A and B are shown apart, each in its own frame.
Chain A
Amino acid sequence: MDENKSYLYDFIKGLWKENPVLVQLLGMCPTLAVTNAVENAIAMSVAVVFVLTASAIIISLIRKLIPAQVRIASYIVVIATFVTMADRYLAAFYPAQSKALGPFIPLIVVNCIILGRMEAFASKNGVFRSILDALGMSFGFAIALLLMSSFREILGNGTWLNMRVLGSWWDNWMVMILPPGAFLTLGTIVGVSRFIQTKLKKA
């Protein structure tokens, strides 16, 4: 594999083949909790893109200075710093979103996707490749979140990003916006994406 190709692969593997949510089943808590409206899913995705990329830059820069025994603690401190920044920014400029997401912005600290990428990739690779990997993974996360929230908001409320898409004949499926709808939607999407992937492998 030549250089360019491997750089490209660093980025695109997170989108589908190693999609953190649909394939690796990481970061399920925010995926289930914030996808009751597309608006919330977008706010969450932006926060994750920022935190994951910024922490990947810092960790890959200082990876040779961190002693192996305390690496997890150091990752958490770096991640927590960026999460605090994202949390304060959201609270100051978008108070409505910050309120809707509740404790889930601070909870990005313990999101397994971020810690997982630090451990598996940023601590072993250079800055440029770590950025590509972080962007790919966080876009993969964003894609899964958008998919989930679109299904839930359209079926549950008849709207998409607060725009009416289904006519007044549509009876809102309230359950899709409530907690059970999150589990049912994610279960279906995971099942369908596995089905497609096994079909692709056979082909």
Chain B
Amino acid sequence: MDLLIIFVSALLINNFVLSYFLGICPFLGVSNKLSSAVSMGMAVTFVMTITAVVTWPIYHLILAPYHLEFLEIVSFILVIASLVQFVEMFIRKTSEAIYDALGIYLPLITTNCAILGFALIAVLKNYTYIETIVFGVGAGLGFTLALVIMAGIREELDFADVPESLKGPGITLLVAGILALAFMGFAGLIK
């Protein structure tokens, strides 16, 4: 039951993009086409799950027992950077189409604050190993959900008559605000 609560809460209530403000750069950058939004979301979910699998043992089995908590930031970011490199190589070998679609954004997952933020939040919340992994999957899917909804709206927005100075990031942020309002409705789901 606890696992379900963690999952739903990461997916909807404390959505990483719309409530924690993590991963805003890809949210604004990759959300103009539905297909690339889906593959970006999948890439982030995949990296986030592996991050959960790897960073929990690093923190709880290596850093904490030897009182090296202050190395948390440095070690997490290095692990995440090498993971992303691995995912990039994997996608390049297996699917040319996805690699072309994601282009520049894949290396940028390294500096995607959603991944590092997730690792840090999981430590702050003191989750067990299983809980951390469930939290990672939920947060990744929540990110995908927000990205895909946004991409759907922006494809329609192309036909709307938006004032010149609001075009691009301005209107995207305003739409995200309304989307965040809608997501606040989920807050009553879990007391």
> Contact residues of A with B, CB < 8 Å?
25-26, 28-30, 32-33, 72-73, 76-77, 80-81, 83-84, 87-88, 102-103, 106-107, 109-112, 115, 175, 178-184, 186-188, 190-192, 194-195, 198
Q: Cα distance A188–B21 when bound, in Å?
A: 17
Q: Does B24 contact A (CB under 8 A)?
A: yes
B78 touches A73 (CB 8 A): yes
Please name all residues of chain A whose beta carbon is closer than 8 Å to the beta carbon of B61 when the two chains form the complex.
Answer: none
Residues of B in contact (CB 8 Å), total 42
Most chain-A CB neighbours within 10 Å: which of B19, B25, B184? Answer: B25
Q: Does B120 contact A (CB under 8 A)?
A: yes
A183 touches B113 (CB 8 A): no
- Rounded to whole Å, the gap between the CB of A127 and the closest CB of chain B is 24
Most chain-B CB neighbours within 10 Å: which of A30, A106, A110, A190? Answer: A110
CB within 8 Å of A: which of B53-78? 70-74, 77-78
Please name all residues of chain B whose beta carbon is closer than 8 Å to the beta carbon of A178 when the two chains form the complex.
Answer: 184
Taking a contact as CB atoms closer than 8 A, the residue among B164, B177, B184 that contacts A187 in the complex is B177
* Overall SS of chain A's interface: helix
- Rounded to whole Å, the gap between the CB of A99 and the closest CB of chain B is 10
Q: Does B176 contact A (CB under 8 A)?
A: yes
B171 touches A175 (CB 8 A): no
Nearest A residue to B177 by beta-carbon distance? A183
Q: Does B103 contact A (CB under 8 A)?
A: no
Known: A32-B24, A103-B120, A181-B177. 8 other contacts (CB 8 A): A77-B74, A180-B178, A184-B173, A187-B177, A188-B170, A188-B174, A190-B170, A191-B174
A186 touches B173 (CB 8 A): yes
B116 touches A187 (CB 8 A): no
Interface 0/1 of B139-169, CB less than 8 Å to A: 0000000000000000000000001111001
A191 touches B120 (CB 8 A): no
B19 touches A107 (CB 8 A): no
- Rounded to whole Å, the gap between the CB of B26 and the closest CB of chain A is 10
Taking a contact as CB atoms closer than 8 A, the residue among A77, A84, A103, A191 that contacts B121 in the complex is A103
Q: Cα distance A183–B169 when bound, in Å?
A: 11
A179 touches B21 (CB 8 A): yes
Q: Cα distance A33–B70 when bound, in Å?
A: 23
For this complex, 17 residue pairs linking A to B, each with C-beta atoms less than 8 Å apart, are: A72-B81, A72-B110, A80-B74, A80-B77, A103-B117, A103-B120, A106-B73, A106-B116, A107-B22, A107-B117, A107-B120, A175-B181, A179-B21, A180-B184, A183-B180, A184-B177, A191-B165
